[in-house]
Amino acid sequence: MRTTTGRRVVAGGRTTVAVLVGAVTLALIAAPGAAAPSAPDERAPLWSGDGLRALLGRVDDPAGPDGPVVWEDGRMHLLDPDGRSGFTPVTMHEDGQVAGQGGASGTTPMVWDRRTGLRALPSPGTESRAFGLGRPGLVVGVTAPEGARTWRAVVWVLGVPVRLGERLPGHPSPTSSTADDVNDHGQVVGQLGLNEPGTGDGYGRAVLWDLVPGR
């Protein structure tokens, strides 16, 4: 399902953007006095059996609140209200949780939800990034261990970081790994970076980690 931004509309002193989602038109409301919101993030629309529930995007308002937002059930939620966290959303789960990174250098993994707001996840290395969300309480991404220059796959389980195993039978020890996404059943998809023995030529292999084996 494709999300397309339409024209800006001003009604009752409030600026909106008419968004066409499939055959449904949705008006996204900006903060009072704000410039019209930008296009919603096409990577992260939320869907339910009744259709569209929420969209991830941002509002740009030099004179007031701006930054990443979630529009849900006709309401707008600012994800980083004071702008101090520098939060950049990357993905959104169907339950409304949003993950991304922020901090002074943009390398602190963060999660937002309606109940707890925006919070940082502990980083097991010098820097980390969040790429995917699953239920219950699963966040996947990468971390750079102390003194290392390569990414390693990591999963946060209820906020606790756990490095994912990297041994792949029949292949040399990986030089890097990434965890790109996770589903609600605890299955993580990602990639291992490997070097060909003898030549040192690099290559990658797609992998699946099952956090709940034997089901």
| pLDDT tens-digit map of 41-95 | 444 444 433 455 677 877 776 666 678 888 777 678 889 988 889 999 999 888 8
Q: Are 38 and 51 in contact (CB under 8 A)?
A: no
In this prediction, residue 36 carries a pLDDT of 45
pTM: 0.75
In this prediction, residue 164 carries a pLDDT of 92
Closest CA to 129 of 114, 117, 143: 143
Do 102 and 162 fall into the same domain?
yes
- Evaluate if residue 37 carries a pLDDT over 70: no
Range of the domain at 199: 83-215
In this prediction, residue 53 carries a pLDDT of 66
Do 106 and 194 fall into the same domain?
yes
Do 141 and 38 fall into the same domain?
no
- Name the β-bridge partners of 51: 48
Do 38 and 101 fall into the same domain?
no
Do 73 and 95 fall into the same domain?
no
Q: Could you write out the DSSP letters of every residue in 68-102?
A: EEEEETTEEEESSTTSTT--EEEEE-TTS-EEEEE
Which letter does DSSP use for residue 159 in this model? T
55, 78, 101 — which closes off a domain? 78
Domain count, the chain: 2
Cα–Cα distance measured from residue 46 to residue 93, given in angstroms and rounded to the nearest whole number: 7
Of 130 and 194, the one with more pLDDT = 130
Of 120 and 53, the one with more pLDDT = 120
Do 71 and 112 fall into the same domain?
no
Do 111 and 175 fall into the same domain?
yes
Of 6 and 76, the one with more pLDDT = 76
Reported residue count of the chain is 215
Do 129 and 92 fall into the same domain?
yes
Do 108 and 193 fall into the same domain?
yes
- Evaluate if residue 128 carries a pLDDT over 80: yes
Do 74 and 89 fall into the same domain?
no
What is the residue-averaged pLDDT of the chain?
75
Cα–Cα distance measured from residue 99 to residue 132, given in angstroms and rounded to the nearest whole number: 7
CA distances to 35, 41, 166, 186 from 16, in Å:
9, 16, 48, 38
129-185 pLDDT per residue, tens: 999 999 878 999 999 987 677 899 999 999 999 999 888 777 778 889 999 999 999
52, 78, 104 — which closes off a domain? 78
Do 13 and 45 fall into the same domain?
yes
Do 105 and 174 fall into the same domain?
yes
Of 67 and 5, the one with more pLDDT = 67
Mean pLDDT to the nearest integer, 108-121:
92
Q: Are 127 and 121 in contact (CB under 8 A)?
A: no
Of 57 and 115, the one with more pLDDT = 115
